Amino acid sequence: MAERLRSALTLESNKSDCNDFHALNTSLSPLRTRPSASTSSSSSGCIASGIAGRRTRSGEHMVSAETSKIGSGVRSSRPGHRRSGSEPLIYVGARGESSPVSSPATNVLPAGNICPSGKIGRSGIMSRSAAARSDVLGEGARNYGHGSIMRGGSGGCGTSTPAGEAAAGSGLDPVMRRAMVSTDPEEVRRAGNELYRRGRFEEALRLYDRAIVIFPESAACRSNRAAALIGLGRLGEALKSCDEAVKLEPSFVRAHHRLASLHIRFGQVESAGKHLFWPGLQPDPLELQKLKAVDMHVRRCADARKIGDWKIVLRESNAAIAAGADSSSLLMTAKAEASLWLHDLEEADSTISQALKLEISSPPSSQAKLFGILSNSYTHMVNAQVEMALGRYDNAVASAEKARQIDPQNFEITMTLNKVRSVARARTRGNELFNAGKFEEACFAYGEGLKYDPFNPTLYCNRAACLSKLGQWEKSIKDCNEALKIYPHHTKALLRRAASNGKLERWAESVKDYEVLRMELPRDSEVAESLFHAQLALKTSCRNGVSNMTFGGEVELITGLEQFKNAISFHGALVVLFMAALDHHCLRISPFLDILSRRFPSVKFLKVDINKSPAVCKSENVITVPTLKIYKDGVKMKYLICPNQQVLEESVRLYCL
């Protein structure tokens, strides 16, 4: 088996992976029927009347490949429904009629064998009535584990009667009611199949569980239970259920293929290969293609991590996830680690949170090593690094200690734990000294922490605060710059840099930072006031007239054309409302302009009554009220007619900050 897996994974190692990558657009792919007689005998199919067959322990029928005549027509030698590529499923009725049916996009169904319930005659020929009642989970056109239930005729539980269809969405399904009181595992299982076919996975799962209680030795029921769990997104439980199925019947083809597909989704190449190349079974071509693609991208990811090429790590981890390993906590963690070292802390934080959720839902059997580190140990190690970069030191230490408990012998994890502890101690010591007013000693303590972690934005920002207290504005700005290189959205670093630039009377730089902060913290009054005073200082330094500016001042009323021309030459942002005193739209928008003048203190607001200042309205070609115009540095930026309050505020924020 190991030799077959190695051979398969290296067979096309020199070929371009572009075809593999684009072909793998689903996480669980459908298994296809194979043309050989030996293969089709173990795969699921629709058992029609008049076809010879025998039942295996799993409930699958071993059907001969001979052609059979049904009525006056002759059917193909391949038993049951067939599909090639994306061909539609074929329903075969009791009289031999066939019609193409596509699996509905909103109700994908499992590929797997749910045991037919028909009886087998002594000669191996099934009766017409038995075939009509047989239900088989066919091979779906969507995801592996999701296909269509094929019915042989009009009888049995699988048949949809008008009453049954009417009750399907009511919650009082007669199929469900009968099955929940039945002691016949076949009837319960068939009812589960019908509910599964309708996409009612939770109810189907309840019936499969009941069938297993009645008949614990049924491998097929456990495999079908796994299909329902996959439909519910509970992949770890599905994998466990499939494991139970193959323990009951080691040669159960469908269960092995489901296990292979699930292990691929968890990113476990070796475990997937074990089931895909199970002795005596032929691997599914599409699953094998996915296995090769995931293995190739994981290897490239590992090679790039060794040399610290984080851009390639990010690219290859994303490619492996897209190729099929969409539930791999290992690969999600690799993506988070790459984002961390590429200084995209927000992305790293979001991605490691996803990895932790996947790690919780992953089954214990999926534990494996990536980069020489145990799966969940690696996840906690990277989480510790992300938490430390974001200044959450208690969480960082706890995650690093948990990683060490899981994998105590790993050198990289031990080094990470020591680093996290050292940085946390330095930060705690620095904070204590800062609070005691010992700013020089605090600077030294934060510097010690940076020796262990030279890319820690929190330590740079804290040291910048100390330097600011010591009046060392240039050094403070330098540390803020370092913090912002690592974490561009570090609010405290922006505040401290803006304040330090203000102390050095670099008002343009100060205003620039305060404007960014004003966008990020629109309701922060201190930021608004600081921005106003910085802009005021900048205008003063540029010798512009600012005698009429006050923080949060009143809206200025324009009464003449000359006054208006002087006002719009204002160096900065300006909003003009053209209004009529008795217009009801103007009466609603005018008080809101007063609110905006306090919310945006650096913006100048004007009102022009068109009845009292017709010359102004004529010069501005205003014919409708209320009309608002936004200027910046004397240039008209925006023209609004009858805006609502939300549009007006968003426009002021966009064009004036």
Q: pLDDT by residue (tens digit) across 500-510?
A: 999 998 888 89
What's the average model confidence in pLDDT over 635-639?
86
Confidence of residue 363 (pLDDT cuts 50, 70, 90): low
Closest by Cα among 110, 11, 29, 18 to 324: 29
The four Cα atoms 616, 621, 625, 629 give a dihedral, to 10 degrees, of: -80
- Diameter over CA atoms, the chain: 109
What's the average model confidence in pLDDT over 403-424?
91
- Rounded CA separation 289/347 (Å): 30
- Rounded CA separation 132/14 (Å): 51
pLDDT at position 523 over 60:
yes
Q: What is the pLDDT of residue 541?
A: 74
Peptide bond into 626 cis (omega under 30): yes
Q: Which two tokens stand for residue 184?
A: 């016949």
pLDDT at position 422 over 90:
yes
The four Cα atoms 373, 378, 380, 381 give a dihedral, to 10 degrees, of: 80
Q: What is the pLDDT of residue 470?
A: 92
Better pLDDT: 17 or 444 = 444
Q: What is the pLDDT of residue 472?
A: 93
Neighbours of 177 (CB within 10 A): 12
What's the average model confidence in pLDDT over 382-406?
93
- Rounded CA separation 156/622 (Å): 77
pLDDT in tens, 482-521: 999 999 889 999 999 999 999 998 888 898 899 889 888 8
Determine the residue type at 389: A
Q: What is the pLDDT of residue 367?
A: 54
Highest averaged pLDDT of the listed ranges 98-112, 342-356, 600-614: 342-356
What is this structure's pTM?
A: 0.59
What's the average model confidence in pLDDT over 143-162?
38
Q: Which helix (H) or strand (E) holds 561?
A: helix 561-568
Q: What is the pLDDT of residue 10?
A: 53
- Rounded CA separation 167/200 (Å): 13
Closest by Cα among 382, 374, 321 to 356: 382
Q: What is the pLDDT of residue 177?
A: 78
Sketch out the chain's domains with CATH numbers.
175-288 (1.25.40.10), 462-545 (1.25.40.10), 556-656 (3.40.30.10)
CA triple 238-239-241, angle to 5 deg: 65
User: What contacts 24+ positions apart, CB below 8 Å, involve 312-317?
Assistant: 313/337, 313/338, 314/338, 314/339, 314/342
pLDDT at position 54 over 50:
no
What's the average model confidence in pLDDT over 11-22?
38
Q: Which two tokens stand for residue 254?
A: 């469908």
Q: What is the pLDDT of residue 82?
A: 38
What percent of the chain stands above pLDDT 90? 30
pLDDT in tens, 172-188: 477 777 878 888 888 88
Q: What is the pLDDT of residue 102?
A: 36
What's the average model confidence in pLDDT over 281-294?
87
pLDDT in tens, 217-234: 888 899 999 999 999 988
pLDDT in tens, 234-264: 888 898 999 899 999 998 888 898 898 998 9
Confidence of residue 560 (pLDDT cuts 50, 70, 90): confident
